[in-house]
Amino acid sequence: MTKKNVLFLCTGNSCRSQMAEGWARLFHGDKIEAFSAGIEAHGMNPNAMQVMKEAGVDISGQSSKLASSLTDIPLDLVITVCGHADENCPAFLTKAKLVHVGFDDPPKLAKEAASEEAALDCYRRVRDEIRDFVRDKLSALIITSQNTGSVDRITFTITNDEEAVPSSNNLPGLAAPS
């Protein structure tokens, strides 16, 4: 079976997309080749690396890179993990199936934290939301992107119970649990 090329895209490729790439490699490394990139490259966020390491996933070998560095890779699926990347997705990436899942920005959340531990808790919450999405929804997205030629774009929202729910119910394997 040929591995599918999946890109996680965010603004700076320092935190959310890096976490998603790490989780994808862990949970789906046999089925996909995971990449992450940004509209800009801000470098690796040390807090993101720390909370991923706490969860048993070492992302310190990954690097922050621009989406334009991946133009030679035929991408099957592009998942934007922040609104800015969704709104500014580079045109060459739109040839792949596009999925948007807007996760909160841990550095922005952490600015309001009363302590370093509270700041890290912001990163942990988003880490866990990304983990759940990648673990529970990514396989179905890959299958859907292969089998449903009419689906070019899917948008998920994180509900109050932190469940990623597709905005369309007619997507096999992606419906919210009853």
The single residue of 10, 32, 75, 174 carrying the catalytic annotation is 10
What is the distance between the alpha carbons of residues 152 and 173, in angstroms, rounded to a whole number?
16
Q: Tell me how far apart the terminal alpha carbons of the chain are, to the nearest angstrom.
A: 32
pLDDT in tens, 57-94: 999 999 999 999 999 999 999 999 998 988 888 877 76
Q: Is the pLDDT of residue 151 over 50?
A: no
Among candidate residues 78, 82, 141, 151, the one labeled active-site is: 82
Distance CA 43, CA 117 (A): 22
Domains, in order of start, for the chain:
4-166 (3.40.50.2300)
**Predicted pLDDT of residue 106:** 97
Antiparallel, parallel or unpaired: β 4-10 and 77-80: parallel
Residue 5, pLDDT score? 95
pLDDT in tens, 96-134: 888 999 999 999 999 999 999 999 999 999 999 999 999
Is the per-residue pLDDT at 176 higher than 50?
no
Looking at the chain, the whole-number percentage of residues with pLDDT higher than 70 is 80
Annotation says 122 is catalytic: no
15 given a catalytic annotation: no
